[in-house]
Structure 1
Amino acid sequence: MKVEKQTLPPQHQDHQPGIESRMNPRPDFMPRFRGSSRLRDKVALVTGGDSGIGRAVAVAMAREGARIALLYLEEKGDAQETADAITLEGSQVELFVGDIGSEQFCREAVAQAVARFGRIDILVNNAGEQHAVKDLDELTEERITRTFRTNVFSMFFLAKAVVPHMPPGSAIINTTSITAYRGHTQLIDYSATKGAIVTLTRSLSQLLAPRGIRVNAVAPGPIWTPLIPASFDAKKVSTHGGDTPLGRPGQPNEVASSFVFLASDDASYMTGQVLHPNGGEMVGS
């Protein structure tokens, strides 16, 4: 049976990182599994947790028993919706609003999360930004620096702040992308940051292994998140994910399970690795 390519309603948002509540259809973020206490008594700090993959990861980890420190840039309505979903899972959540491109904010958010919850066992470096360009001249110094500051520098800032509070058995999980492996003609600087994240993951995994801290990454393919309508024109959005072997974009909750697995003891012998929920495209590891 041939897989039918799935299309989306054409739509566009003028401001990044995008608002999930304005998307049509709304992304599917609720976990598709029953909780089994795999993360009971753990504390997870999730960046970009207001929407998209971050929202799905935060709610999925809450279902498994984790308490959540949720960092977001400015999307107050989306963040509160995520917090409400976490609360409905019977967990606790604390919201922190600010720019993870600032090392000072990262240090302050981590300090407040530790003061609130007493520890951090899981760091999910998920937040990111991307800007489509048609020519190299559009990649200004300011744009390139900003993309790297949000997508890569923040991971250094947060790792530095979080690791001293992490007990053995803790986990860091970084969001990279399929673009790290195949590139993207319009997302030049974004793709470069995602390649850097793969190498950062491997390097940190070796550095932190003696402390019993595992570091892994997830490289999603085309997922239906607010970044998509906030990055591309309406026509391109309508075909998002249609070129995958499965013929459709993935949903955030189809990615979140990879993060839950890597955060849990089920992945106790995995570090320096990348998981690929990407709709069937074969890429290098």
Structure 2
Amino acid sequence: MSAPDHRLGLILVGISTLSWSTAGLFTRAIQADLFAMLFWRGAFSVLGLLVVLVLLRGARSLKTFVHPGLWGWIYAATSTAALFCYISSFRLTSVAHVAIIYAIVPFCAAGLSWLMLQERPKRDAILASSVALIGAVVMVGFGNDGHIAGDILALIMTILMALMIVISRRYPLMPNLHAGIVSIFAALVISLLFIGSITQPPDQLLLLAVFGLVNSALLCALEAPIAPLWVWLAFGERPSPITIAGATLVFAAVTWHIARQSRSANLLPVAPP
């Protein structure tokens, strides 16, 4: 990968980070039950993604939903499970815990790539993974502002997201956007089976609409320090000192690893025209 492509990737991931990091804020502000939130969020997300898909690739791209391929279906099923774990974890533990646990996703992906694709991680990645793991253990093991059930769901979600990354890397031609829409629609249908009340007040519907449209973006590990910030500012949910210490270790590991990767990209020789 060339240095310009690497920088563009980081910029795009940074933009998606800002949108996705608001998930904790919305789950705190929305009063609807879990399945009502998943239903309406899914409805607005699917609508927004379909519009984007048609604008980017034309109406003919909708035919791909009929045959996304075996790994497309596996990707969609994994994404659906990750979505349920993700939203549920916010209701069971602190936003800071969910965000920081999710911040280790690149290192989980590196481990799965090693197991599934025989891609041996570099020494820098192993070192950063170790520091991030220590930070997560410090936060979960010694922090008092989370709950073990929510932390476990956040960890399961992180592993599932890492699996999605590896699948995308192994099958680069897989229609990810189509599979993502299928996964959200599946979560919508499943939620409809358990929903308490489908009707919501106008103010809640507005929040759900914004939540669904904004969070159609990709996930990213650097949401870790941003997600708790929104909730702290809006609701005063302040992370404990232990959580902040663990988060600092994780964030430092991720930042250092990105910096090292960027430096490596800049040192790559440029191919002649």
Quick check: which has more Rg, 1 or 2? Answer: 2
The one of the two structures with greater contact order (alpha-carbon pairs below 8 A, sep at least 6) is 2
More helix by share: 2
Alignment TM-score, normalising by the size of structure 2: 0.30
More strand by share: 1
Alignment TM-score, normalising by the size of structure 1: 0.29
